[in-house]
């Protein structure tokens, strides 16, 4: 029996579509008030996991308890207490912003007065108050996303599920969405999100699991993962395409680990500047050098040997 | 049931934006058909042997057939593109299924919505029929629910199939090779017994032939209880199969 503050409890959770394995037995616990992330490339099994948590996709195996209930038997009762921001917007684009919230609130059986009181508050929250009476269709992608977030909060959910909440948004719109999600987190809303953006996971998640090929390959806080799987800093070297030197042996001893990518070379070290100076002393002349903090992308690269965004 | 009503109210809210045009078309199309084919063509046809079409004017003969056929047409347009859009293009159902609504509610809501659309179209059609003096009996009023049932008998199986479609090409084929031939050969414009035997037998396998036969018997005042029950049974079986199939295909597509 999971502890009372565990909102989602999964053990050996699996999802198969015919012979294809989307999720191959994963374990995790989600605690009240935390922001929990599933990080991984497309096809890693993140969305399938979120669909199982959202009680629309029945698990093929393993154990899954949400809010102490069984998602297969108590789907509607669980969904009444969840908010869902799907990967693709599912708004009624012919209707107005306000009507979208009204219709959606009705799905949850909320009385009209409650919906209109919450609508005012939620539109304020996502900064769409002045668009309340406008049709949704012509709104920008960022505005639609914010409306989707407002809509997902209409039932005052205990857990908010976000499937790639900022995929396809321009940087400005993405930051606007992050800002809103960060505020929700501050207000104590429990967040579950999937993403393939490292910066998103670093900014929003207290704890995350890295998924690859249907499995969890690492878990911890962003800081812990970086400490465990990367170094404090990374030195990035770029060489001119036609002047890439033969690096064999020349980088030995300069870094804890070296990653040679098609377009650049990464040196994992606790002191990037010292490594850069040593590179020059050895007579290597990269076109550019960059010392930066290591990120979850470096973690992912280390764990799977592949770049995350493909 | 209350879940299905929520789905219905979603559709009604969208319909509120287009209802005027939709109702106008529902009036105009029977007027055009009855004026051109019923009265115009009928003035030539009525010189033929009247017993072949039950001793009524040609307009009175085709009007109930058109009523049933219109129900079928309305049902096909409501259960093809819009269903695929809600499954796939707009993902309306995904939004609904993120709430406490269930797949049963979706299918139930679509059933209610289809009933609403068919009732609206059939009532309007019936009013136009009456205006053209093609209603000859009190039992003719029963032609309205029979037309609705005919629409359901055709539309619900189509709905189950539409949920699986990902492009609109199959819909074009459905209209070209199923809906249009049925409209022309299903007994709307001439008695099916004039068709070659094989085609007649095939026609009786379709819901439209039963819908046309029964609405016609009702509006011309020649309905017999036993044959009426037979027609209703066939239509009800089609509708029931449609609902059962839709529950399966909706679940396959939306709750995998």
Residue A112 pLDDT: 96
Alpha carbon distance A23, B77 (integer Å): 39
Q: With an 8 Å Cβ cutoff, are A76 and B2 in contact?
A: no
| Average pLDDT for B166-193 | 93
Task: Evaluate whether residue A130 is within a structural domain.
Answer: yes
Alpha carbon distance B224, A288 (integer Å): 92
Contact A80, A31 (CB under 8 A): no
Residue A310 pLDDT: 43
| Nearest alpha carbon to residue A150 among A176, A171, A170 | A176
Tokens representing B159 are 């709905």
* B256 pLDDT higher than 90: no
Closest approach of B88 to chain A, Cα-based (Å):
10
In percent, the amount of chain A with pLDDT more than 90 equals: 69
Q: With an 8 Å Cβ cutoff, are B256 and A80 in contact?
A: no
Q: With an 8 Å Cβ cutoff, are A92 and B14 in contact?
A: yes
CATH number, domain of A242, equals 3.30.70
Residues of chain B with C-beta less than 8 angstroms from the C-beta of A56:
94, 97-98, 254-255
Residues of chain A with C-beta less than 8 angstroms from the C-beta of B100:
76-77, 79-80, 107-109
Domain shared by A155 and A250, yes or no: no
Per-residue pLDDT reduced to its tens digit, B244-254? 999 999 999 99
Contact A106, B9 (CB under 8 A): yes
Domain shared by A240 and A123, yes or no: no
Alpha carbon distance A244, B137 (integer Å): 93
Domain shared by A238 and A205, yes or no: no
Task: Evaluate whether residue A306 is within a structural domain.
Answer: no
* DSSP code per residue over chain A: ---TTEEEEEEEEEEEETTEEEEEEEEEEEETT-EEEEE--TTSSHHHHHHHHTTSS--SEEEEEETTB-TTTSHHHHHTTEEEE-SS----TTSBHHHHHHHHHHHTT--HHHHHHHHHHHHHHTT-GGGTTSBSTTS-HHHHHHHHHHHHTTT--SEEEEESTTTT--HHHHHHHHHHHHHHHHTT-EEEEEES-HHHHHHH-SEEEEEETTEEEEEE-HHHHHHHHS-SEEEEEE--GGG----TTTTTTSSSEEEE-SS-EEEEES-HHHHHHHHHHTT---SEEEEEE--HHHHHHHHHSS-S--
| Average pLDDT for B112-141 | 94
Mean of all residue pLDDT scores within chain B: 93
Domain shared by A101 and A235, yes or no: no
Task: Evaluate whether residue A288 is within a structural domain.
Answer: yes
pLDDT-derived band at B109 (thresholds 50, 70, 90) equals: very high
CATH number, domain of A93, equals 3.40.50.300
- Among A221, A252, A275, the domain-final residue is A221
Q: With an 8 Å Cβ cutoff, are B95 and A88 in contact?
A: no
| Average pLDDT for B233-252 | 98
Residue B63 pLDDT: 94
Range of the domain at A253: 231-294
Structurally, chain A folds into a number of domains equal to: 2
Contact A57, A5 (CB under 8 A): no
List, in order, residues 6 or more apart from A197 with CB less than 8 Å away.
Answer: A166, A167
| Average pLDDT for B23-41 | 90
Residue A168 pLDDT: 86
* B90 pLDDT higher than 50: yes
* B224 pLDDT higher than 70: yes
Task: Evaluate whether residue A141 is within a structural domain.
Answer: yes
Domain shared by A10 and A113, yes or no: yes
Minimum-distance CB partner of A103 among B10, B91, B100: B10
Q: Kindly give the pairing relationship between strand A159-163 and strand A82-85.
A: parallel
Domain shared by A262 and A143, yes or no: no
Domain shared by A217 and A262, yes or no: no
pLDDT-derived band at B162 (thresholds 50, 70, 90) equals: very high
| Nearest alpha carbon to residue A91 among A43, A141, A128 | A141
First-to-last CA distance in chain B?
23
Please state, as a whole number, how many other Cβ atoms lie within 10 Å of the Cβ of residue B17: 12
Domain shared by A268 and A128, yes or no: no
In percent, the amount of chain B with pLDDT more than 70 equals: 97
Task: Evaluate whether residue A246 is within a structural domain.
Answer: yes
Task: Evaluate whether residue A226 is within a structural domain.
Answer: no
Q: How far is CA A185 from the centre of its chain?
A: 14
Residue entry with tokens 């049902």: B75
What residues form DSSP beta bridges with A16? A21
Which residues of chain A fall below pLDDT 50? Answer: 309-310
Interface of chain B toward chain A, CB-CB under 8 angstroms: 2, 6, 9-10, 13-14, 17, 90-92, 94-102, 254-256
First-to-last CA distance in chain A?
40
Contact B122, B147 (CB under 8 A): yes
Task: Evaluate whether residue A105 is within a structural domain.
Answer: yes
> Can you tell me the ipTM of this complex?
0.91
Domain shared by A217 and A235, yes or no: no
Residues of chain B with C-beta less than 8 angstroms from the C-beta of A104:
95, 99
Task: Evaluate whether residue A184 is within a structural domain.
Answer: yes
Domain shared by A207 and A236, yes or no: no
Mutation site, A47, A96, A103, interface B, largest B CB count within 10 A:
A103
Residue B242 pLDDT: 98
Residue A248 pLDDT: 65
Domain shared by A129 and A274, yes or no: no
Alpha carbon distance B160, B146 (integer Å): 21
Phi, psi of A301 (to 5 degrees): -60, -40
Phi, psi of A217 (to 5 degrees): -105, -15
| Nearest alpha carbon to residue A106 among B12, B108, B81, B82 | B12
Residue B171 pLDDT: 97
Per-residue pLDDT reduced to its tens digit, A35-73? 999 998 888 999 999 999 999 999 999 999 999 999 999
Alpha carbon distance A291, B211 (integer Å): 78
Domain shared by A192 and A247, yes or no: no
Residues of chain A with C-beta less than 8 angstroms from the C-beta of B17:
94
- Among A200, A221, A242, the domain-final residue is A221
pLDDT-derived band at B48 (thresholds 50, 70, 90) equals: low
Tokens representing B166 are 């990902």
């Amino acid at each position: 029996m999971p502890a009372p503050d565990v909102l989602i409890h999964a053990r050996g959770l699996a999802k198969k579509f015919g012979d294809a394995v989307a999720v191959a037995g994963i374990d995790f616990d989600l605690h009240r008030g935390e922001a929990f992330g599933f990080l991984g490339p497309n096809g890693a099994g993140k969305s399938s996991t979120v669909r199982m948590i959202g009680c629309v996709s029945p698990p093929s195996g393993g154990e899954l308890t949400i809010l102490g209930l069984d998602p297969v038997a108590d789907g509607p009762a669980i969904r009444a207490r969840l908010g869902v921001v799907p990967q693709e917007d599912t708004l009624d684009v012919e209707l107005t912003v306000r009507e979208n919230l009204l219709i959606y609130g009705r799905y949850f059986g909320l009385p009209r007065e409650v919906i209109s009181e919450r609508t005012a508050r939620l539109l304020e929250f996502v900064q769409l108050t002045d668009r309340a009476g406008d049709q949704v269709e012509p709104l920008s992608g960022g505005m639609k996303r914010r409306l989707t977030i407002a809509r997902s909060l209409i039932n005052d959910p205990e857990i908010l599920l976000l499937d790639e909440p900022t995929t396809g948004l321009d940087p400005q719109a993405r930051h606007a969405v992050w800002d809103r999600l960060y505020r929700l987190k501050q207000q104590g809303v429990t967040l579950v999100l999937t993403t393939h953006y490292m910066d998103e996971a670093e900014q929003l998640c207290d704890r995350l699991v890295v998924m690859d090929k249907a499995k969890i390959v690492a878990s911890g806080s962003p800081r812990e993962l970086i400490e465990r799987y990367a170094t404090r800093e990374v030195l990035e070297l770029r060489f001119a395409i036609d002047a890439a030197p033969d690096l064999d042996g020349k980088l030995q001893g300069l870094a804890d680990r070296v990653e040679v990518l098609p377009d650049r070379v990464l040196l994992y070290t606790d002191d990037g500047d010292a490594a850069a100076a040593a590179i020059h002393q050895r007579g290597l002349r990269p076109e550019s050098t960059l010392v930066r903090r290591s990120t979850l992308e470096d973690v992912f690269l280390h764990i799977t040997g592949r770049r995350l965004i493909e | 049931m209350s879940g299905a009503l929520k789905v219905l109210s979603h559709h009604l809210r969208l319909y509120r934006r287009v209802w005027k045009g939709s109702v106008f078309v529902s009036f105009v199309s029977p007027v055009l058909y009855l004026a051109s084919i019923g009265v115009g063509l009928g003035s030539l046809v009525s010189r033929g042997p009247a017993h072949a079409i039950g001793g009524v004017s040609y307009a009175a003969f085709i009007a109930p057939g058109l009523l049933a056929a219109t129900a079928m047409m309305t049902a096909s347009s409501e259960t093809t593109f819009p269903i695929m859009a809600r499954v796939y293009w707009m993902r309306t159902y995904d939004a609904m299924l993120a709430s406490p609504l269930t797949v049963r509610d979706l299918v139930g809501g679509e059933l209610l919505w289809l009933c609403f659309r068919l009732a609206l179209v059939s009532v309007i059609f019936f009013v136009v029929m009456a205006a053209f003096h093609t209603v000859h009996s009190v039992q003719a009023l029963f032609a309205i629910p029979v037309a609705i049932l005919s629409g359901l008998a055709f539309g619900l199986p189509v709905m189950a199939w539409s949920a699986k479609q990902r492009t609109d090409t199959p819909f074009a084929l459905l209209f070209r090779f199923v809906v249009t031939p049925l409209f022309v050969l299903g007994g709307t414009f001439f008695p099916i017994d004039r068709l070659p035997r094989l085609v007649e037998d095939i026609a009786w396998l379709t819901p439209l032939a039963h819908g046309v036969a029964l609405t016609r018997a009702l509006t011309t005042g020649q309905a017999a209880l036993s044959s009426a029950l037979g027609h209703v049974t066939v239509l009800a079986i089609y509708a029931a199969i449609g609902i059962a199939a839709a529950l399966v295909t909706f679940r396959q597509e939306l709750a995998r």
